[in-house]
């Protein structure tokens, strides 16, 4: 893999570029982005070796697409139009149904592999890119049977070499499950942050009184709205379902409190402590 094109050089694209370059020092990482300033930043941070444009994709061996999911849906067919027959294209989008649908009938569908690396932070842009982000993390791979064997092998080696474990899922199952474990957590953090900001007008009070519990619970509220709005749009029906269940639980908790039913509150929390066993071993 000599010529690698990173379309999107933020947290995910930049972090992938760092790890892949480390394992493939002879590769040239070409960066493509909307704004030239972003590419300049990626160059100065050594995330990429060169700036490029979509027309340069004729020279690609590998294309990694790490831009917001609405932009991925729009751009992916054009990317496949431009690449040579031998190139592999992967995307890192947090939704999979609309992305897979966008290229289902494309003549170069077999050059594409849909992925979702389950790794990240609440930060964005080139300065957020870090080495080793994917080590020990899961990579959800969708519709692998639609990619040529040769390119499947290349992709699995590339992502295995940066420490990722592959899990295979169809796009609909991916979007359903990820709504619970990722999308709902982000909404919950955003709305918790909003509730506190709306009520505690004095930011100094928030800062002085908020313990590390609040900071860690609300951490995801620092995430980029530019990335998250299209995710909620594409996964709307699953996300609405998770929200309804979450709101039911919040309402139940409120009713228990109003009714002085502390036994029920104790039992709810005790049974939820089981999350410790489920998450044991993650980070």
Minimal distance in Å, beta carbon 32 to ligand NAP? 8
Q: What is the DSSP string of 84-121?
A: -TT-EEEE--S--HHHHHHTTT-TTGGGEEEEEEE---
Report the helix count and the strand count for the chain, using DSSP H and E. 13, 8
**Looking only at residues 28 through 67 of this chain, which bind ligand NAP when binding is defined by CB under 6 A?**
33-35, 38, 66-67
- The rounded distance, in Å, linking the Cα atoms of 116 and 120 is 11
| β 62-65/88-91 pair status | parallel
What is the spatial distance between Cα 67 and Cα 6, in angstroms, rounded to a whole number? 10
Q: Which stretch binds ligand NAP (CB under 6 A): 123-131, 132-140, 200-208, 233-241?
A: 123-131
CB nearer to ligand NAP: give 27 or 71.
71
Smallest gap from Cβ 252 to ligand NAP, in A, equals 31
Residue 149: count of CB within 10 angstroms of its CB: 10
Q: Which of 31, 68, 171, 193 binds ligand NAP (CB under 6 A)?
A: 68
Q: How far apart are CA 214 and CA 235, in angstroms?
A: 27
Strands 112-118 and 138-142: antiparallel
CB of residue 66 to ligand NAP, shortest distance in Å: 4
CB nearer to ligand NAP: give 93 or 171: 93
> Do 98 and 230 contact (CB within 8 A), yes or no?
no
Q: Which is nearer to ligand NAP, 9 or 221 (CB)?
A: 9
With respect to ligand NAP, which residue has the nearer C-beta, 143 or 252? 143
For ligand NAP, the closer of residues 120 and 171 by Cβ is: 120
- Running DSSP on this structure, what letter comes out for residue 65? E
Asked if 155 touches ligand NAP (CB under 6 A), the answer is no
Asked if 10 touches ligand NAP (CB under 6 A), the answer is: yes
Which member of 128, 156, 191, 196 binds ligand NAP (CB under 6 A)? Answer: 128
Using alpha carbons, select from 123, 138, 133, 119 the residue that is nearest to residue 220.
Answer: 123
User: How near is the Cβ of 79 to ligand NAP at its closest, in Å?
Assistant: 11
Q: Which candidate, 136, 137, 161, 158, places its Cα nearest to that of 147?
A: 158
CB 55 within 8 A of CB 82: yes
Collapse the DSSP code of 239 into the 3-class scheme (helix H, G, I; strand E, B; otherwise coil) and give the result: helix
Pick 56 or 271: Cβ nearer ligand NAP: 56
Asked if 120 is part of the footprint of ligand NAP (rule: CB under 6 A), the reply reads: yes
Residue 111 within binding range of ligand NAP, rule CB under 6 A: no
* Range 227-256, binding ligand NAP (CB under 6 A): 227, 231
140 binds ligand NAP (CB under 6 A): no
List of residues contacting ligand NAP (CB under 6 A): 8-13, 33-35, 38, 66-69, 71-72, 92-94, 116-117, 120, 124-125, 128, 224, 227, 231
């Amino acid at each position: 893999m000599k010529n690698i094109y990173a379309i999107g050089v933020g947290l995910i694209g930049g972090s992938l570029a760092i790890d892949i370059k480390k394992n493939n020092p002879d590769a040239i990482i070409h960066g493509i982005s909307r704004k030239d300033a972003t590419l300049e930043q990626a160059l100065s941070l050594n995330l990429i070796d060169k700036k490029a444009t979509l027309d340069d994709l004729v020279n690609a061996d590998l294309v990694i697409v790490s831009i917001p999911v609405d932009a991925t849906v729009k751009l992916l067919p054009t990317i496949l139009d431009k690449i040579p027959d031998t190139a592999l294209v992967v995307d890192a989008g947090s939704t999979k149904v609309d992305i897979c649908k966008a290229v289902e009938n494309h003549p170069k569908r077999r050059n594409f592999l849909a992925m979702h690396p389950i790794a990240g932070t609440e930060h964005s842009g080139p300065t957020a890119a870090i080495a080793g982000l994917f080590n020990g993390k899961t990579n959800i791979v969708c519709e692998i049977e639609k990619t040529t064997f040769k390119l499947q092998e290349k992709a699995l080696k590339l992502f295995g070499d940066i420490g990722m474990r592959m899990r295979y899922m169809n796009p609909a199952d991916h979007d359903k499950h990820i709504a619970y474990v990722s999308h709902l957590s982000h909404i919950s953090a955003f709305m918790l942050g909003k509730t506190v900001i709306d009520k505690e007008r004095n930011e100094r009070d928030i800062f002085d009184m908020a313990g590390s519990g609040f900071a860690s619970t609300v951490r995801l509220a620092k995430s980029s709205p530019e990335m998250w709005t299209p995710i909620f749009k594409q996964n709307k029906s699953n996300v609405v379902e998770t929200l309804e269940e979450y709101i039911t639980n919040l309402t139940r908790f409120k009713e228990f409190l109003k009714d002085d039913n502390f036994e029920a509150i104790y039992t709810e929390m005790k049974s939820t402590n089981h999350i410790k066993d489920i998450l044991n071993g993650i980070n």
